[in-house]
Structure 1
Amino acid sequence: MIDKNDLTIGESVFFPIRGKGAKGSIVRKNKRTVTVLDTTNSRVYRVPYSLLFKDITFSRRPLTFENSELLTEEELRDLADELKKEYRYVFKTFNSEQTKLLESVKIKWSKRSTYRRGGYYLKSSKGQLKNEISISSTFKNTPKEVIKLVLFHELLHIKHLNHSKEFRSLEESFTNFEKVDEIMGKILVEYRIRRMKNLT
């Protein structure tokens, strides 16, 4: 955890927000949080000190997890099936067309590693149905619960193409959402810093 006395107004920091690795500058220091201006979208966030990363103190050793798993694409699909059963009360809200897409969706690892998002759902392209979920390779060798949250997020996009209030409400029904989302955000922030430092 960064001590607030080590931070100055205007200093650049990295932080996870809604599953993304963001960069911003400190606007105000509070007792438990820091007010940060996101330099990408000019939005202001209140971020706990525990979620801040300072570029100058970043370690060359990547984050490691004892319960990390390297899943095959078949195992990714099995994980999606687990989610459909575990959160069937969520997926029961899908209409018949959305349910058909849910049952036939293709799931794969993306060839690219990213820090802006954990994955994406592509319903169609150039007028043709795709119905595909790609999970960022950034999440290979990370805890299964993190991968499950990324998958859950993308499966919800079959019903909600944008991040509406209803989407966020459903997403936050994921077990231990805040804890897992925090880990996911840290992974993305770390990848962003490592890429900037040419450590990837």
Structure 2
Amino acid sequence: MNSLKYIAHYPAQLVAQVQSLIEKNQLAPMLAKKYPERHSIQTDKALYEYVSEIKSDYFRNTAAISKVGFDSKISVINHALGLHTQISRVQGGKLKSKNEIRIATLFKNTPPEFLKMIVVHELAHLKEKEHNKAFYQLCQHMEPNYLQYEFDLRLHLTVQELGLAN
């Protein structure tokens, strides 16, 4: 069951169902059928525009995001798919704060739902720093299917790790 580390904290019955799908070679085809498309956002500029559009829909009164990009150094191994950082610098006599969002490069070739899920997750950190109830409520406000996409992304990562992809 170590190979199911991405869903290990889910109920045992659900993990057993996933294990059964893997044994029957049905997990990858199921995900491929459920998420047949891949998004077209391939550059940092396109990603910045995509993130800015979602941000403007939900966070008009928050600080601007100064930088958004794909980052090949972000690793699933480090339990990160994206990073939100806030950098403070002194400029003249003022303290300036800049928000940056970096998304793991693996999201360049995923369904649009997975990219949106990770972008929503990182944007939610603009208001809620911790992964608490308010954080997940905010994620679901921005993307009502957030929890399902998060689970399916975990299944996608499992497929990738086990080499089951078609």
- TM-score relative to the length of structure 2: 0.69
Deviation at 1:130, TM superposition (A): 5.1
Give the structure 2 partner of residue 140 of structure 1.
108
Instruction: Report which of the two has the higher share of strand.
Output: 1
Higher relative CO (Cα under 8 Å, sequence separation at least 6) belongs to 2
Q: How large is the Cα RMSD of the aligned pairs? A: 3.7
- Provide the rounded CA distance (Å) in 2 between the counterparts of 1:83 and 1:126: 26
Structure 1 unaligned runs (5+)?
1-10, 16-20, 25-32, 36-45
Deviation at 1:47, TM superposition (A): 3.1
Q: Which residue among 122, 129, 134 is the counterpart of 1:166?
A: 134
Instruction: Report which of the two has the higher share of helix.
Output: 2
Q: Alignment identity in percent? A: 22
Asked if residue 114 in structure 1 is aligned to residue 75 in structure 2, the reply is: yes
Asked if residue 47 in structure 1 is aligned to residue 14 in structure 2, the reply is: yes
Q: Which residue among 140, 144, 153 is the counterpart of 1:175?
A: 144
CA 85–79 in structure 1, closer or farther in 2 if over 3 Å, else same: same
How many residues are treated as equivalent by the alignment? Answer: 152
CA 126–77 in structure 1, closer or farther in 2 if over 3 Å, else same: closer
8 Å Cα contact 1:113/1:137 also seen in 2: yes
Q: Which residue among 153, 162, 165 is the counterpart of 1:193?
A: 162
Deviation at 1:84, TM superposition (A): 2.4
- Provide the rounded CA distance (Å) in 2 between the counterparts of 1:12 and 1:55: 13
- Provide the rounded CA distance (Å) in 2 between the counterparts of 1:58 and 1:130: 46
Q: Which amino acid aligns with 2:114?
A: V
Deviation at 1:137, TM superposition (A): 1.3
